[in-house]
Amino acid sequence: TNPLTKLDIRGIVSASIFYAARNSASTPTYTFSGDTDTGIFSAGANQLSFATNGIEYFRLDSTGNIGIGTTAPSTRLEVFGTASSSLAFISGAIQVSGTTGASTSYSRFGTNTTGHAGSITAANDLLISGDFEVDGSSAFDGYAKFAGAASISGIFEGGTIKATTYTGDGAV
């Protein structure tokens, strides 16, 4: 009896297909009463986006990629910004770097690619570009290769040691 808009339906509505304008993050297609800049919209063909406070924070694109904090995800799940997890199970390679897109088959932390192509090639291999510190014990069940300088403080125990140049007190 007192419509609030041109079409005001109070109660349950059913439709086989609902068509709506694509709109944008600032004016989402599906919004909430009293919060018209928060909701769901389509930024383009075959895309679904979520916005709060007029800003797009989540996008599902036409290839099935999901972006959080990005409108152009290049991988199945791309998070732009800080993310955290209490537990993560990764099947395959993981890359943590300032680059976008998975471009190598081995796991890496940093942006460099390996200089040891014969050694680091598979998803269970790891490349760390930058400084690396272990505050505790380390065990190596294979070879340890050093392409640059290496220093050891404390006790070094080993079986066979091969070196081109060795400088030290000879205590092994």
> Closest Cα partner for 98 from 113, 109, 87, 86?
109
Locate 165 and state its tokens.
């140049």
What distances in angstroms separate CA 12 from CA 9, 80, 107, 120, 149, one per listed residue?
8, 39, 51, 60, 73
* Residue 120 or residue 9, greater confidence: 9
Does position 122 have pLDDT exceeding 60, yes or no? Answer: yes
Q: Alpha-carbon torsion 165, 167, 169, 172, what sign?
A: negative
Q: Is the dihedral of CA 62, 67, 70, 75 positive or negative?
A: negative
Name the pLDDT band for 156 (thresholds 50, 70, 90): confident
Task: Please tell me which of 39-53, 101-115, 158-172 the model is most confident about, judged by mean pLDDT.
Answer: 39-53
* pLDDT tens sequence across 21-53: 889 999 999 999 899 999 999 999 999 999 999
pLDDT, tens only, 1-21: 788 888 888 888 888 888 888
